[in-house]
């Protein structure tokens, strides 16, 4: 494909990057006395639907996600390269939430996603009617396994494990199929961080080796067997294992606090994209923009939730993420 394939798209993204939230804006949001005041500041900066006439946090944040994907759909020559980002939502709604709703005979609107390959209501109908073969990629087999597991065991956690592992495997496969080095690298990093999170949480909750090995997926940087053994030995052993990998900075975050570790996970993804600021002829800047928007939406949600619950500013600050710009 021509080297200029992404020239127009990157030009559009560069123009949009100036409206991304900066660290200075995040400080302004932190300085707001209430969630309502912070939300008003966001609306003044163009967030949400200005015609809606309401100030609902969830509606504003959901609208920003819609805008984000609409922008990419308008400029991207090929949306399939972004499957690695949309797969978690597609798999989540097709199998995890929808399977549970079908078994329990109830449905909740907020469990649906429409900004992925199959809209929520359509996905609900497919799973409710057990039309698993109409699902894309590796979903049919995974959906059947998760659905049958939930029916026979009523073990939601086991169902989640099946789906989460399939999601990680699908992300790695989508990264390879994209034909884009930056997309494949993103998939590898995302799966590695997911593995580390699984190990940390499993160690805290006393999960056994069988559980961890079923949940984690080998990738280029993480050896599941070694990470599992470290988790069985203790939190410090996880940190020591990570110090021997390219994710050594996560060891320091782990030793500080759980929130510092979660913050490191998101910051790692943002930092991995910073080089794309200087790229003009690849999909990289589009991926970086998507991740930057996801990161700022997550950060705003943390701030709004913290203020709604009257958390101290320092407690909120510990959890907020670094901005891309």
Residues 72 and 83 in one domain: no
Bigger pLDDT: 241 vs 163: 241
Residues 260, 191 share a domain: yes
CB 281 within 8 A of CB 7: yes
The residue with greater pLDDT, 218 or 127, is: 218
Domain match, 306 and 219 both: no
197 lies in the same domain as 141: no
Could you give the number of structural domains in the chain? 3
Mean predicted confidence (pLDDT) in 113-132 = 72
> What pLDDT, in 10s, does the model give residues 53-72?
677 999 999 999 999 999 99
Residues 267 and 232 in one domain: yes
Q: What was the pLDDT predicted at 200?
A: 96
Residue 104 vs residue 256, higher pLDDT: 256
Same domain as 202, residue 152: no
Q: What is the pTM of this model?
A: 0.85
- Which is higher by pLDDT, 325 or 112? 325
Say whether pLDDT at 299 is over 90: yes
Q: Which CATH number covers residue 322? A: 1.10.132.50
Tens-digit pLDDT profile for residues 183-195: 999 999 999 999 9
106 and 174 in a single domain? The answer is: yes
Final residue before a domain boundary, out of 117, 148, 179: 179
Q: Are residue 212 and residue 298 in the same domain, yes or no?
A: no
Whether residues 299 and 274 fall in one domain: no
Specify whether 249 is located in the same domain as 306. Answer: no
The pLDDT of residue 98:
47
How high does pLDDT run on average in the chain? 87
Regarding whether 21 and 7 lie in a shared domain, the answer is yes
Q: Do 86 and 175 belong to one domain? A: yes
Share of the chain above pLDDT 70, in %: 89
- Show the domain range for 308: 1-76+284-325
């Amino acid at each position: 494909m021509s080297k200029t394939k992404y020239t127009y798209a990157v030009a559009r993204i560069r123009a949009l990057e100036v409206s991304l939230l900066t660290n200075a804006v995040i400080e302004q949001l932190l300085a707001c006395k209430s969630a309502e005041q912070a939300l008003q500041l966001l609306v003044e900066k163009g967030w949400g639907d200005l015609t809606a006439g309401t100030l609902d946090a969830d509606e504003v944040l959901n609208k920003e996600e819609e805008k984000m994907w609409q922008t990419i759909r308008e400029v991207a020559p090929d949306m399939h390269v972004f499957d690695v980002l949309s797969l978690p939502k597609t798999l989540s709604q097709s199998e995890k939430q929808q399977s549970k709703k079908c078994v329990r005979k109830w449905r909740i609107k907020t469990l649906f996603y429409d900004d992925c390959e199959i809209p929520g209501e359509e996905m609900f109908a497919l799973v409710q009617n057990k039309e698993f073969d109409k699902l894309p990629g590796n979903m049919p087999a995974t959906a059947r396994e998760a659905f049958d597991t939930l029916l026979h065991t009523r073990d939601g956690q086991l169902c989640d494990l099946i789906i989460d592992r399939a999601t990680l495997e699908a992300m790695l496969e989508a990264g390879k199929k994209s034909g884009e080095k930056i997309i494949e690298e993103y998939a590898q990093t995302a799966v590695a961080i997911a593995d580390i999170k699984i190990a940390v949480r499993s160690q805290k909750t006393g999960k056994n080796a069988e559980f961890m090995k079923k949940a984690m997926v080998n990738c280029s940087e993480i050896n599941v067997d070694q990470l599992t053994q470290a988790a069985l030995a203790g939190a410090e052993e996880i940190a020591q294992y990570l110090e021997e990998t390219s994710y050594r900075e996560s060891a320091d975050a782990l030793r500080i606090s759980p929130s510092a570790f979660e913050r490191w996970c998101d910051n790692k993804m943002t930092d991995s994209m910073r080089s794309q600021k200087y790229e003009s002829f690849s999909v990289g800047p589009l991926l970086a923009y998507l991740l930057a928007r996801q990161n700022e939406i997550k950060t705003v949600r943390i701030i709004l939730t913290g203020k709604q619950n009257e958390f101290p500013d320092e407690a909120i600050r510990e959890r907020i993420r670094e901005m891309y710009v």
